[in-house]
Amino acid sequence: METKLLDLKGVEIGKFDLPEVIFSVKPDPYFLHEVMKYYLANKHRGTACTKTRSEISGGGKKPWKQKGTGRARAGSTRSPIWRKGGVVFGPKPRSFRQYLPIQKLRQALIEALSARAADGAVLVMENLALEAPKTSSLNALHKGLNAKSVLFVTDKMDKNFKIASRNRAEFGWCLANNLNAYEAMRSERLVFTTAALKLLTDSVTTMSMPHKSNAHQAAKEAK
């Protein structure tokens, strides 16, 4: 699969062959949905909190006597049916965290990248090295990409690019080692540096290699 190779001004200067081990896998939408729910759940802070009638101050005195007033019986002004009373079954701080095997997360990243490449959202640049840390130096690149959100993936972040992109709300960046399926799916464009693609390909190839036990390795060395 081929994609565009861009320069720092967003102009196409050639074509780039994307590695098939990452960008030629058939994605499973149900599997990707499961993984997206995992990432979104783990971003959920779970800090919502309401008070029950036992946690609200006041209300210790009976509002009026039990009988003879013609009004309904009441034992506390902090009853849930009273204004400013407690909340019944309200939210309490809790963890929404989910767990998935790391093998699933790695496979989800590959399938997400394959899906984005099939949509034409994956682009490649030689590097992100800017001559000066100025936001104006990214104007041409922003115009050439023509996207509301762009994620730049690199092996190491250039300091000038990091400073220059601060005032570009539509520009984000991450290291190739930290890329995950959620980040790959949420941006309109994915721009990889050639070094980041090589690093990502090497890591995927290493993960797919069969693991050899110590006993098997020792027997092989003995021969």
> In the chain, where does the domain assigned CATH 3.40.1370.10 lie?
2-28+99-218
pLDDT at residue 10 in the model: 84
Find, among 124, 117, 148, 108, the residue nearest to 20 by Cα. 117
DSSP code per residue over 63-77: SS-SSSSSSPP-S-T
CA angle 54, 59, 61 (to 5 degrees): 130
- Answer yes or no: is pLDDT of 20 > 50: yes
The predicted model gives 10-36 an average pLDDT of 92
DSSP conformation class of 188: S
In the sheet with 189-193, reading across from the earlier edge strand, the strands are 12-17, 2-6, 122-125, 189-193, 150-154, 171-175
The pair of structure tokens assigned to 90 is 């309200």
Euclidean distance between CA atoms 63 and 88, whole angstroms: 21
Under 8 Å between Cβ of 14 and 146: no
Euclidean distance between CA atoms 211 and 215, whole angstroms: 12
pLDDT, tens only, 193-217: 999 999 998 888 776 554 444 444 4
Range of lowest pLDDT (66-70, 203-207, 216-220): 216-220
How many residues would you count in the chain?
A: 223
Q: What's the CATH fold of domain 2-28+99-218?
A: Ribosomal Protein L4; Chain: A; (3.40.1370)
Find, among 21, 14, 22, the residue nearest to 190 by Cα. 22
Report helix, strand or coil for 52: coil
pLDDT, tens only, 100-144: 999 999 999 999 999 999 999 999 998 888 888 888 888 888 888
The total of other beta-carbon atoms located within 10 Å of residue 110's CB is 21
The total of other beta-carbon atoms located within 10 Å of residue 75's CB is 11
pLDDT at residue 217 in the model: 46
Under 8 Å between Cβ of 165 and 138: yes
- pTM value is 0.80
